[in-house]
C-alpha cells in the first residue's frame, strides 16, 4: 500500500479516497501550488491534512470562521494529531503559548483567521516556524466577485515571503471561473494546478415553484416526499412559526437559528440528525459542517442572496446519491424584497465611515491605538447617541466586520438567555402577587417573544433601559425569578462584546476606498441578478443553468427539474406511460407511483385515481392495478 493510503487508514480509518482527493494530495506532495474545487462534503480537509503529515514542518491553515476552526482542531485532536488555533477572545498569554509551541515543533496544524496575519506579533513568530504547507480554506473569500468576500484574505499572500518554499493549497466548494482566477492571482500561486469536480448532481431535481400560498405548498411537498428535509427561511422568527405550522399539520419538525443558545441548538440538531424530527426549519446559520447523507429535500421559502449560496444550501440534499429534491418557492413580492434588503446590506459608504467613527469615539479609541481591545457592545446607546437606526447601524457594522476592522458578537453564547417553563396561568398568578418582579418580567416577555417555547438570548441592558432601572438591578431580579423557578436564567459571563481587531485607522479606512466599495457593491448586485434570472428563466433546464453559472457546460438536460418536467408533460404521455407498464404486468399503486416519479413524472397518484374513476384501471383483491381493457 502506498503512503497516503496508509495514512488515510491509520488516522481516518477510511479505505479509499473520494474523487480527486488522491490527485490533489499528489500535487501538493510534489510541491505545487494547488487549487481544489470540490463540492461541500467532498472531503477537502483531508486534501491538506494528509499531505501535511507527510511534509516536514507545520501546516498553517487560514479559515474564516472560529466555529469551523474549532471543529477541525477537535477533529484532528480526536485523531491524536496536534492542532491548535489562535482566535480573538484568547488572552495574550494563551495565544503566545500556541505560537511558541508552533515554533518548537509541538504542533502539526495551526489554524488562524486571516485578520491575525496582519498582526506584528503573529508575523514575528511565524517567521521562526518551520512551515511545510499553507492551506487556505474557503478560498473564495479572497475574491470580491465571490459571495463571501473578506478583505483580510488579501493579506495571505503577504506572508508567503517568509516561507517561499512552502506550497500553498487553496480549497473551496463554490467558485465561478472569475473567482477561481482571482484566487490564483491574489494568493500569488505559481504554476497553479487546478482540480475541479463536476457541479452536476445527477440525483438532485431542482424545482422553482411560483406560489403565493407558500406554507400550503410546503406542506404538500413534505407529505409527498418522505424522509428528512431542511426548510430554509430568511428570518429567525419565521423558523419557529413555520415549524409550529408543520407540527400542527402532523409533520414532526424543529427549528434552528443563531439566536438559540448552544445547548438548545445541539439538541435540535441531533433530534433532526437522528430522525426523531423529520423537518428542520432554519436560517442559513444551519448546515455548515452538517454531515447527513439521507436528506431527501431542501426547500427554500425565500430567494437567497446568490446562486452560490443557493447551490451550497440546496446541495445538502441527496448526498447518498438517491433521488432528492431542491425546491425554491417564491412569489411576486420576493424579488422586490431582495432589492430592499440589498440597500440595507450595502449602505452608503459615508454611513459606514460614520458608524466606524462613532464606535471609535464612543469607546474613546485614539487613532493608531485600540488594536485587540474589547468592549461591552452597547448597541442601543450608540444608536441613540449618534442617531442611527438599529438596522442601518448593523448593516454598517457588518461591512466593517467584513473589512476586518472589528468583530461583533455572532456567537450568541455571548448573551444571557431566559426561558419560561411555567404555564401562562401560573405566570399570571405570579405576576399578580409580585408586582415589581412581575412588571419587569412583562417587559422581558414583550421584548423577546418566544421565551415560553425555548431559551432566547437577551440583553440585560436593553431591559434595564426599558424599565428605567440599572442593568445590575435587572440581573438581580432575573436571578430572583430564577430561584423562584419562574424562569431559567443563564447569565453570560460577560455581555455581548465588541472587538477592535486593528488599531484605529484614520479616515483613510485602508480597504474602504470609494472604488473598492463600489466594486463590492456592484459584484453583489450582479449576484443578485443571477439568482433573479435563475428563478425567472423557465425555459432552460435548472441544472444546466446552475452548472453554467459555475463555468461548466452541460450537454444534456437533467430531465427532472421543473423546466424539464414541463416540457415532458407537454407530450401528455403520462397516461400512456402508465398503460405501457401495466400492459406488461399488474403492479401495486405505490410502486407504480414511485417508478413514474423517479422517471420524472409529477402528480402520478392523481392521474391513477382519475383513471380508476373513469374505469380504465381496476384494483384487484391483492391491491394490484390492472388495465381494464
Q: Which residues are at the interface with ligand ADP (CB under 6 A)?
A: 14, 17-18, 21, 38, 40-46, 291
Work out how close the CB of 311 gets to ligand ADP at its nearest, in angstroms, rounded to a whole number.
13
And the C-alpha cell for 463? Answer: 431591559
Cβ-count burial of 259 within 10 angstroms (0-12 exposed, 13-18 middle, 19+ buried)?
A: buried
By a kind-dependent CB cut-off of 5 to 8 A, residue 38 interacts, out of ligand ADP, Mg ion, none, with ligand ADP
**CA atoms within 13 Å, Cβ hemisphere of 414:** 17
Kindly tell me which of 173 and 242 has the beta carbon lying closer to Mg ion: 173
Kindly tell me which of 43 and 146 has the beta carbon lying closer to ligand ADP: 43
Work out how close the CB of 561 gets to ligand ADP at its nearest, in angstroms, rounded to a whole number.
24
Kindly tell me which of 95 and 312 has the beta carbon lying closer to Mg ion: 312
Kindly tell me which of 17 and 255 has the beta carbon lying closer to ligand ADP: 17
Contact characters 43-62, Mg ion, x per CB under 5 A: -x------------------
Residue 327 bridge partners (DSSP): 207, 299
| Count of beta carbons in the 10 Å neighbourhood of residue 599 | 13
Instruction: Tell me the C-alpha distance between 461 and 466, whole Å.
Output: 9
Residue 83 bridge partners (DSSP): 109
Work out how close the CB of 87 gets to ligand ADP at its nearest, in angstroms, rounded to a whole number.
19
* 499 φ/ψ angles, rounded to the nearest 5 degrees: -110, 135
With beta carbons less than 8 A apart as the criterion, state whether 134 and 167 touch. Answer: yes
Kindly tell me which of 21 and 597 has the beta carbon lying closer to ligand ADP: 21
Work out how close the CB of 24 gets to Mg ion at its nearest, in angstroms, rounded to a whole number.
13
Kindly tell me which of 9 and 429 has the beta carbon lying closer to ligand ADP: 9
Element of type H or E holding 436: helix 435-447
Residue 588 bridge partners (DSSP): 624
Q: Which stretch binds Mg ion (CB under 5 A): 40-48, 145-153, 485-493, 544-552?
A: 40-48
With beta carbons less than 8 A apart as the criterion, state whether 278 and 234 touch. Answer: no
Work out how close the CB of 81 gets to Mg ion at its nearest, in angstroms, rounded to a whole number.
17
Work out how close the CB of 43 gets to ligand ADP at its nearest, in angstroms, rounded to a whole number.
3
Report which residue's Cβ sits closest to ligand ADP: 43
Kindly tell me which of 46 and 166 has the beta carbon lying closer to ligand ADP: 46
By a kind-dependent CB cut-off of 5 to 8 A, residue 416 interacts, out of Mg ion, ligand ADP, none, with none
Work out how close the CB of 318 gets to ligand ADP at its nearest, in angstroms, rounded to a whole number.
15
By a kind-dependent CB cut-off of 5 to 8 A, residue 18 interacts, out of ligand ADP, Mg ion, none, with ligand ADP
Q: Which stretch binds Mg ion (CB under 5 A): 36-44, 115-123, 205-213, 530-538?
A: 36-44
Work out how close the CB of 23 gets to ligand ADP at its nearest, in angstroms, rounded to a whole number.
13
By residue count, the chain amounts to 629
By a kind-dependent CB cut-off of 5 to 8 A, residue 41 interacts, out of ligand ADP, Mg ion, none, with ligand ADP
Instruction: Tell me the C-alpha distance between 156 and 513, whole Å.
Output: 20
Kindly tell me which of 4 and 496 has the beta carbon lying closer to ligand ADP: 4
By a kind-dependent CB cut-off of 5 to 8 A, residue 14 interacts, out of Mg ion, ligand ADP, none, with ligand ADP
By a kind-dependent CB cut-off of 5 to 8 A, residue 600 interacts, out of Mg ion, ligand ADP, none, with none
Report which residue's Cβ sits closest to Mg ion: 44
Work out how close the CB of 480 gets to ligand ADP at its nearest, in angstroms, rounded to a whole number.
46
Instruction: Tell me the C-alpha distance between 587 and 63, whole Å.
Output: 54
Instruction: Tell me the C-alpha distance between 389 and 78, whole Å.
Output: 46
Work out how close the CB of 137 gets to Mg ion at its nearest, in angstroms, rounded to a whole number.
6
Kindly tell me which of 44 and 186 has the beta carbon lying closer to Mg ion: 44
Work out how close the CB of 597 gets to ligand ADP at its nearest, in angstroms, rounded to a whole number.
29
Residue whose C-alpha cell reads 452597547 in the numeric block: 378
With beta carbons less than 8 A apart as the criterion, state whether 377 and 497 touch. Answer: yes
Kindly tell me which of 11 and 245 has the beta carbon lying closer to ligand ADP: 11
Kindly tell me which of 270 and 387 has the beta carbon lying closer to ligand ADP: 270
And the C-alpha cell for 151? Answer: 478583505
Q: Tell me how many residues contact Mg ion (CB under 5 A).
A: 1
Q: What's the chain's Rg over C-alpha atoms?
A: 27
Instruction: Tell me the C-alpha distance between 530 and 520, whole Å.
Output: 16
DSSP letters for 375-438: EE--HHHHHHHHT--HHHHHHHHHHHHHTTSEE---SGGGSEEEE--S-HHHHHHHHHH-HHHH
Starting at the edge strand found earlier in the chain, the sheet holding 406-407 runs 373-376, 497-500, 406-407
Residue whose C-alpha cell reads 418566544 in the numeric block: 450
By a kind-dependent CB cut-off of 5 to 8 A, residue 384 interacts, out of ligand ADP, Mg ion, none, with none
* 542 φ/ψ angles, rounded to the nearest 5 degrees: -60, -45
**Residues binding Mg ion (CB under 5 A):** 44
Amino acid at each position: 500500500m502506498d503512503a497516503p493510503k496508509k495514512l488515510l487508514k491509520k488516522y481516518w480509518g477510511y479505505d479509499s479516497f473520494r474523487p480527486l482527493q488522491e490527485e490533489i494530495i499528489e500535487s501538493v506532495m510534489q510541491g505545487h501550488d494547488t487549487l481544489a474545487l470540490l463540492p461541500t462534503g467532498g472531503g477537502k480537509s483531508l486534501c491538506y491534512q494528509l499531505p501535511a503529515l507527510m511534509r516536514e514542518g507545520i501546516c498553517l491553515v487560514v479559515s474564516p470562521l472560529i466555529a469551523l476552526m474549532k471543529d477541525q482542531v477537535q477533529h484532528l485532536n480526536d485523531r491524536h494529531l496536534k492542532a491548535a488555533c489562535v482566535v480573538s477572545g484568547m488572552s495574550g498569554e494563551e495565544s503566545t503559548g500556541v505560537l511558541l509551541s508552533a515554533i518548537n515543533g509541538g504542533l502539526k496544524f495551526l489554524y488562524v483567521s486571516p485578520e491575525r496575519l496582519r498582526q506584528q506579533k503573529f508575523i514575528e513568530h511565524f517567521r521562526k516556524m518551520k512551515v511545510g504547507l499553507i492551506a487556505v480554506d474557503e478560498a473564495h473569500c479572497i475574491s470580491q466577485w465571490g459571495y463571501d468576500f473578506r478583505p483580510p484574505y488579501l493579506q495571505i499572500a503577504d506572508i508567503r515571503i517568509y516561507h517561499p518554499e512552502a506550497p500553498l493549497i487553496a480549497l473551496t466548494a463554490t467558485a465561478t471561473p472569475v473567482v477561481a482566477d482571482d484566487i490564483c492571482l491574489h494568493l500569488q500561486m505559481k504554476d497553479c494546478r487546478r482540480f475541479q469536480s463536476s457541479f452536476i448532481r445527477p440525483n438532485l431535481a431542482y424545482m422553482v415553484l411560483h406560489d403565493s400560498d407558500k406554507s400550503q405548498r410546503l406542506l404538500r411537498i413534505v407529505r409527498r416526499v418522505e424522509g428528512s428535509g431542511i426548510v430554509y427561511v430568511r428570518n429567525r422568527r419565521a423558523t419557529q412559526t413555520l415549524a409550529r405550522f408543520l407540527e400542527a399539520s402532523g409533520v414532526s419538525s424543529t427549528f434552528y437559528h443563531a439566536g438559540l443558545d448552544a445547548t438548545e441548538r445541539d439538541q435540535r440538531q441531533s433530534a433532526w440528525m437522528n430522525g426523531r424530527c423529520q423537518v428542520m426549519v432554519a436560517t442559513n446559520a444551519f448546515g455548515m459542517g452538517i454531515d447527513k447523507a439521507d436528506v431527501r429535500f431542501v426547500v427554500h421559502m425565500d430567494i437567497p442572496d446568490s446562486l452560490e449560496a443557493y447551490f451550497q444550501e440546496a446541495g445538502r440534499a441527496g448526498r447518498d446519491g438517491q433521488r432528492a429534491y431542491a425546491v425554491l418557492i417564491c412569489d411576486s413580492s420576493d424579488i422586490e424584497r431582495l432589492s430592499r434588503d440589498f440597500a440595507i446590506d450595502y449602505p452608503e459608504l459615508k454611513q459606514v465611515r460614520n458608524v466606524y467613527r462613532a464606535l471609535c469615539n464612543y469607546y474613546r479609541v485614539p487613532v493608531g491605538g485600540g488594536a485587540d481591545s474589547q468592549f461591552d457592545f452597547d448597541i442601543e446607546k450608540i444608536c441613540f447617541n449618534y442617531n442611527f437606526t438599529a438596522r442601518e447601524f448593523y448593516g454598517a457594522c457588518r461591512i466593517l466586520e467584513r473589512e476586518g476592522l472589528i468583530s461583533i458578537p455572532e456567537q450568541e453564547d455571548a448573551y444571557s438567555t431566559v426561558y419560561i417553563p411555567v404555564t401562562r396561568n401560573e405566570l399570571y398568578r405570579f405576576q399578580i402577587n409580585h408586582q415589581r418582579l412581575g412588571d419587569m418580567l412583562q417587559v422581558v416577555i414583550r421584548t423577546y417573544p418566544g421565551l415560553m417555547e425555548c431559551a432566547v438570548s437577551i440583553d440585560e441592558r436593553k431591559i434595564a433601559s426599558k424599565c428605567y432601572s440599572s442593568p445590575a438591578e435587572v440581573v438581580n431580579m432575573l436571578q430572583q425569578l430564577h430561584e423562584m423557578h419562574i424562569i431559567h436564567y443563564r447569565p453570560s459571563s460577560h455581555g455581548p462584546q465588541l472587538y477592535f481587531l486593528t488599531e484605529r485607522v484614520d479616515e483613510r479606512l485602508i480597504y474602504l476606498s470609494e472604488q473598492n466599495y463600489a466594486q463590492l457593491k456592484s459584484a453583489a448586485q450582479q449576484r443578485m441578478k443571477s439568482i433573479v434570472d435563475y428563478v425567472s428563466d423557465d425555459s432552460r433546464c435548472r441544472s444546466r443553468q446552475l452548472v453554467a453559472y459555475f463555468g461548466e457546460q452541460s450537454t444534456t438536460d437533467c430531465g427532472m427539474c421543473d423546466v424539464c418536467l414541463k416540457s415532458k408533460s407537454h407530450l401528455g404521455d403520462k397516461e400512456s406511460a402508465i398503460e405501457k407498464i401495466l400492459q406488461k404486468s399488474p403492479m401495486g399503486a405505490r410502486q407504480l407511483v414511485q417508478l413514474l416519479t423517479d422517471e420524472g413524472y409529477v402528480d402520478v397518484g392523481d392521474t391513477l385515481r382519475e383513471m380508476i374513476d373513469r374505469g380504465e384501471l381496476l384494483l384487484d383483491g391483492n391491491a394490484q392495478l390492472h388495465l381494464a381493457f
